[in-house]
Chains A and B, each alone.
Chain A
Amino acid sequence: MMLLHLLLVVAFGASAGQAPPDVEQGKQLFNGMCARCHGIDGTGDEGPSLNRPTLTRAATDDALREVISDGIPDRGMPRVRRLTDNEVRQLAAYVRSLGRAAAGATSGDAAKGRATYDKLGCAACHIIGGQGGSFGPDLTQIGVNRGPSYLRQSFLGPAEALPRGTSPIPGRGFTEYLPVRIVTGDGREVRGVRVNEDPFTIQVRDSSNHFQSFRKSDTREIEKEFGKSVMPGFRGRLTDQETEDLVAFLSSLRGAQ
């Protein structure tokens, strides 16, 4: 709390009449600290795209500077580092310049994308607006949380980019939905996704979406299958237009209407 207070002082201590912030310097800072999640040029990736005229969490410049200074910890955005007020102004100016230059995120048609979503049976494993299966991530506001390039990747080749730690469990950047294969002490094989883990225990949801818990010392083998996903990949199974339609549909999912 106290730290937050201090940062606000730093962020908004800028007095009137300053020179306009250096947008190029802001771009350098952005590429170092922000592009990994928000994409080069703010096109979005694991984190939401920022090349939009209106940013959900940063409608005003004050709000944008606050988000840059403090992060949004409950949504997986860390405060990457402490910034001077000048650095915050440079970053904010660069992010705003992305919105002004914004091109359309996707050429797809969201309504057609919905039809593709239904045809592929995605709802068997994903919830939208409370409806659907719960084995995979809830997509109700996936369009807020993820950029178009990430969304495209997520169904074309999901194993290549498993989501990392935006939820508090398992937290701190751990790979979510990591496939695991466990061989129990009596030789039984359990496959599922990791839910949580510590040095002594591991919790998984098995392929029938039931929780299972293991003492590691009671197992024969625990294989964490990095580079794999339990979700099928659709690369080669969709036309380019179907792909873009699906991206448009997923991008349109922005929470309760």
Chain B
Amino acid sequence: MLLVLAFGVAPIAAAAQVPAPRIVAADATPTDWLTYSGNYQSHRFSALTQINRQNVSQLKPAWIYQVRRTGIVETSPIVADGVMYITEPPSTVTALDVRSGRPLWTYTPSIPTDVIVIGSPPVNRGVAILDDTVFFGTVNGHLIALDARSGAVRWDVQVDDNKFGYYVTSAPLAIDGRIIVGVSGAEAGIRGFLDAYDPKTGRRVWRTHTVPAPGEPGSDTWSGDTWKTGGGSAWLTGSYDPALNLIYWGTGNPGPDWNGDLRPGDNLYTCSLIAISPVDGKMKWHFQFTPHDIHDWDANEIPVLFDATIDGRPRKLVAMANRNAFYYVLDRETGQFLSALPYAKQTWAERIDAKGRPVRRSGTAPSVEGTLVFPNIQGASNWPSPSYSPQTRLFYQAAREMGTYFFKGEPQYKPGEPFVAGGGRAVNGDDAWGAIRALESTTGRLKWEFKLVTPPMSGVLSTAGGLVFGGTDEGNFFALDAESGKPLWDTQLGGMIRANPMAFAVDGKEYVAIAAGYGIFVFGLP
């Protein structure tokens, strides 16, 4: 299998290196990793089988690349035709030779010293590739296109004004004729949106706000001028169904985070999944997981697309292990709610009703004296990716088991300053833990779990070799049996893992890669 596939790695003389149809067919060429989550369906699954249950215990480092500036390395590498494209904190792109780990080019944009990054560390989670161009966002709110072979700038546009707190950390999504990118900044009281740009010119084709203006659908869920600082950042990479021609993107918390008094109502389309046409940016449907959120439970987690039969009926589905601790399954053609089950401890909702709306428990709102609620402020999940294996039909999730004392504070908006009105104190240490959980993808029922001593901020990768790879804050990179959760291999990388694993192959050999500490680590069989 690998031998046959390896032909796909040979240099392609054609002008376009990674045309869109190649990304659509990403499952057929697992030697490459062409989009953030491996395929447009966001499975973060590798069909490679060379590293498998029988031999994974022999994994050895192939090469290590160390970034040149300290900071949290959250990058998820892209691999195309023998080149790995990574990002380094805060907004540098580097191309590496996958055979040796040696840099081929690097590009660092000029970032103003007074850049405003409120709501996350100044990180970058990866690039997108399309044709001969690499696309990435910056902490000062730009979207930049680089020539894939030289790193030269093709174009550089301002997505929005960083003076108001707009910035970009996520990998853009590259599809045919469109580069889709969302912004961060809800903790600064931005008005969120999703943008599409022309890959050739950088011209903005459309912008769809995640918070409606007065008169637009959903505007009745806001009062007064609160929509102007309504948040709803679209800060993580979404998914794409080429057949339905719909993009699926999660949206973040309303602003301010922990005091909802000024914004009574559901606050659409925050904490939602939105389905959008890439042609014109029109919203086909939306589903709000946490109406009127007051705990900062963004719904930016990766939407995972798969098909399955439910109640005897074949359906096109989208699933999300939401930050609010529930695993949701929706019909991705219509947005119809199908089911929700908690996949981690939660104390805020009595249940999810038949339409998918939570029935809140009383006494769970943030308060001046602090209110203990599960999940914690960073959620039962966050940006680290889940994985879906078409082999096991399981949804793998790194779950965070922790509570937070939530505080309510004063809402005070000043442009470019924190607009959060509260916060939290985590109940950490021995009172917190985590697990890699395998959920039945159509229901969220637990199949197995592997316990971790701290809540993880590392994503997972599943492979056709029957493995699930994951990482820990303590620096462990490990492989579990995808069927049983039994640990099969682990190693210590010497720094926190706050990144997503991925796999690729070159010269007929499979490798798995993950960032840890200040480096990218690549492992293969001896």
Contact = CB atoms under 8 A, between A and B. Distances in A.
Q: Does chain A bind chain B?
A: yes
Interface of A: 2-3, 5-7, 9-10, 13, 28-29, 31-33, 36, 78, 80-84, 86-87, 164-165, 172-175, 178, 197-201, 217, 224, 226
A213 to B, nearest CB: 12
A200 B423 contact: no
A86 B412 contact: yes
Contacts of B410: 84, 86-87
B429 A2 contact: no
A200 B436 CA distance: 14
B420 to A, nearest CB: 5
A33 B412 contact: no
B368 A28 contact: yes
Specify which of B118, B417, B473 lies most central, judged by the most chain A CB atoms within 10 Å of its CB: B417
Interface in B423-457: 423-426, 428-432, 450-454
A84 B429 contact: no
Given A81-B423, A217-B487, A172 B429 contact: yes
A200 B479 CA distance: 12
A3 B188 CA distance: 12
B118 A172 contact: no
Given A81-B424, A86-B412, A31 B418 contact: no
B213 interface: no
11 contacts: A13-B414, A29-B368, A33-B370, A33-B407, A80-B407, A81-B422, A81-B423, A87-B410, A178-B430, A200-B487, A217-B487
Given A78-B425, A86-B412, A32 B407 contact: yes
B369 A32 contact: yes
Interface string B116-142: 111001100000000000000000000
Nearest to B412: A84
B429 A82 contact: no
Contacts of B407: 32-33, 80-81
B368 A32 contact: yes
A174 B429 contact: yes
A33 B453 contact: no
B490 interface: yes
Contacts of A201: 492
Contacts of B430: 173-175, 178, 224, 226
Contact of A32 (B118, B370, B492): B370
A33 B473 CA distance: 26
Specify which of A2, A36, A165 lies most central, judged by the most chain B CB atoms within 10 Å of its CB: A2
Given A28-B369, A84-B412, A2 B490 contact: no
Counting contact residues on chain B (CB < 8 A from A), the size range is: 35 or more
A3 B118 CA distance: 7
Contacts of A9: 417
A120 B93 CA distance: 61
Contacts of B368: 28-29, 32
B177 interface: no
A174 B474 CA distance: 13
Contacts of A175: 429-430
Nearest to B433: A199
A6 B118 contact: yes
Contacts of B117: 2-3
Given A3-B117, A10-B418, A32-B369, 19 more contacts: A2-B116, A7-B418, A80-B407, A80-B424, A81-B422, A81-B424, A84-B412, A86-B412, A87-B410, A172-B454, A173-B426, A197-B453, A198-B453, A198-B472, A199-B453, A199-B476, A200-B476, A200-B478, A217-B487
Contacts of A198: 453, 472, 474-476, 492
A78 B428 CA distance: 12
A39 to B, nearest CB: 15
B17 interface: no
Nearest to A79: B423
B8 interface: no
Q: Which 3 A-B pairs have the closest CB atoms?
A: A81-B423, A173-B429, A198-B474
A54 to B, nearest CB: 27
